[in-house]
Amino acid sequence: MDWGKKNRLSRLIQKDGHCLFLPIDHGYFLGPTSKLERPGETIKPLLPYCDGIFVTRGVLRSCIEPNVTVPIILRVSGGTSIVGKDLANEGITTAMRDAVRLNVAAVGLSIFVGTDYEHQTLLNLSKVVDEAEEYGIPVMAVTAVGKELEKRDARYLALCCRIAAELGVSVVKTYWCENFEKVVDGCPVPVVMAGGPKVDTELEVLEFVYDGMQKGAIGVNLGRNVWQSEHPIAMIKALRAIIHENATPKEANEILKSVKKK
């Protein structure tokens, strides 16, 4: 691996081999999502606790100061909306030249396996990997399910992650699911977990992140369950404890409660 790619990956994945990425890219198909109406304000107090931010070039240029030290993972796919015909019909939205100009640590894009747009989105991924390799930029694949959240089971997610790895990505972002070890074990590159729509309790999030870490995930790329929380700083600190300090869900919940009180 070239020095540049190694350097970028080492900024994203910490010395313990783990990472906490915070995605704020949701507006690219959801518009002004709740609590992300002003992404710059949402992210500001959370920046000290992130190992990477997943963001589009528009929000990066308009809402994030260029002196930010947190590494950037640039979303480079899109072209659909929540009110449009099919969320899976994504194209590549951002040229690799612009990713280089933005000095990003990685790029990320969605694939929609099993949909009418499987072929198109997998070829998007291959093209982005080819171009990113030219510049030593790691690629993170997002195994997207669109509106079909029920698709999130081990058999399907293992298929998606393995295909992304075969096409050459450095990291795969997927959903946590029951029997998550089947997803990680079949994937020869590191796996990070997304959260999906906000769940009912904070403890549920801590429990699934802990379970996923025990089963081999290297971290999270988890958004709504952090910044839509009533206590985003407490939540991100509790998650950091699981990811970087091997805290149990109970220990992380204690951290959450004590930060909430402050």
Residue recorded with tokens 């993972």 = 73
Task: Tell which one of 109, 171, 189, 194 touches ligand 5RP (CB under 6 A).
Answer: 194
* Strand pairing category for 77-78 and 72-75: unpaired
Task: Rule CB under 6 A: say whether 195 interacts with ligand 5RP.
Answer: yes
- Contacts with ligand 5RP by CB under 6 A: the residue count is 14
Q: How far is CA 79 from CA 44, 74, 82, 141, in A?
A: 27, 15, 11, 17
* Residues 6 or more apart in contact with residue 119 via CB below 8 angstroms: none
Q: How far is CA 11 from CA 18, 102, 124, 198, in A?
A: 11, 16, 25, 28
Binding track, positions 47-76, relative to ligand 5RP; x by CB under 6 A = -------x----------------------
Q: 3-state secondary structure string, 135-164?
A: HCCCEEEEECCCCCHHHCCHHHHHHHHHHH
Alpha-carbon gap, residue 69 to 71, rounded angstroms: 6
Task: Tell which one of 94, 174, 221, 253 touches ligand 5RP (CB under 6 A).
Answer: 221
Q: Which amino acid is at 55?
A: V
> 174 vs 253, which CB is nearer to ligand 5RP?
174
Task: Rule CB under 6 A: say whether 208 interacts with ligand 5RP.
Answer: no
Task: Rule CB under 6 A: say whether 13 interacts with ligand 5RP.
Answer: no
Binding track, positions 75-114, relative to ligand 5RP; x by CB under 6 A = ----------------------------------------
The dihedral formed by the CA atoms of 12, 220, 111 and 227, expressed in degrees to the nearest 10: -100
> 170 vs 225, which CB is nearer to ligand 5RP?
225
Task: Rule CB under 6 A: say whether 212 interacts with ligand 5RP.
Answer: no
Alpha-carbon gap, residue 238 to 82, rounded angstroms: 31
Task: Rule CB under 6 A: say whether 141 interacts with ligand 5RP.
Answer: no
Dihedral sign, Cα of residue 143, residue 127, residue 218, residue 241: negative
Find the shortest distance in angstroms from Cβ 6 to ligand 5RP: 24
Task: Tell which one of 5, 8, 26, 35 touches ligand 5RP (CB under 6 A).
Answer: 26
Q: How many residues would you count in the chain?
A: 262
Look up residue 221 and give its DSSP letter: E
Q: Which secondary structure element, helix H or strand E, spans residue 257, and what is its range?
A: helix 249-261
Task: Rule CB under 6 A: say whether 224 interacts with ligand 5RP.
Answer: yes
Look up residue 219 and give its DSSP letter: E
Task: Rule CB under 6 A: say whether 39 interacts with ligand 5RP.
Answer: no
Task: Tell which one of 212, 223, 232, 249 touches ligand 5RP (CB under 6 A).
Answer: 223
Indicate if 257 belongs to the active site: no
Task: Tell which one of 23, 52, 138, 219 touches ligand 5RP (CB under 6 A).
Answer: 23
Spot the catalytic one: 173, 215, 257, 262: 173
For ligand 5RP, the binding residues (CB under 6 A) are: 23, 25-26, 54, 142, 144, 194-196, 221-225
The set of catalytic residues is 173
